[in-house]
Amino acid sequence: MPRKNAPRCVCDPVQIVPPFDFTAAQRRQILDALPCVPKEESEFIAGLERCAHSFLWRRNQYSARWTQAEQNAALMEISPLARELTRRLRCLDMGAEWALMLSAGVDYLPDFADRLERVADGAARTLELGKKRTGPHRNPAIDRIMSDLKRLYEQHTGKVFSHNPKQKTEYLGAPQSAAGRFVAVFFQAVDPSITQTAISTAMASVVRARRSARSSRNVLSPIGRETI
């Protein structure tokens, strides 16, 4: 018998994550992965520990959210409920409609019924889209934290945060740059379940965003002025 999915009452619980502290061995591994000795080593490590805490909170928060099946189950209930409420509101006589408007503080009940009808239609369309999504969703926590790792790396090493998933001409999928080795060691300490491919994808996204920002600045720069 197929498992029946039902919507949960709470979809966004607040996760409590204790402060993160690297072990002495983990600190040494991170520092050894860097291309040079960082400026203000203690400040650098403290910044990484804040990144680790933020990453774990986001990871847990996202993991505790509804699955796609649970979201579909909620949408499946919303559409008929909204349509039924719309129908009932439109069946009220003028006296009951006026009394309800006064009690609820609603200016114009027919307009409220129209909006409910749009909610019902939207829920039905969203449900159809949700049915087409299969498999687990990628947790975005790694993408959200990568820009902070980039900032700390560049600030404390003076090196450019670069990404290269290749060894010579062979595509490996795992990060091969100096920055990539640093990020890989960071996640090995914080969450070993994060794959090398996921790290590469997030790093590539950050590097592309930087290139896009530079291109935009170059386009907007006055003619003759040197651009970065």
* Per-residue pLDDT tens digits of the chain, which is 228 residues long: 445 555 555 555 556 788 999 999 999 999 999 999 998 999 999 999 999 999 999 888 887 777 778 888 888 999 999 999 999 988 989 888 888 888 888 777 888 888 899 999 999 999 898 888 766 666 789 998 999 999 999 999 999 999 886 667 776 667 888 899 999 999 999 999 999 888 998 999 888 887 776 665 555 455 443 333
* Domains of the chain by residue range: 26-64+137-220, 68-132
Structure tokens at 198: 């996921």
Q: Is pTM beyond 0.85 here? A: no
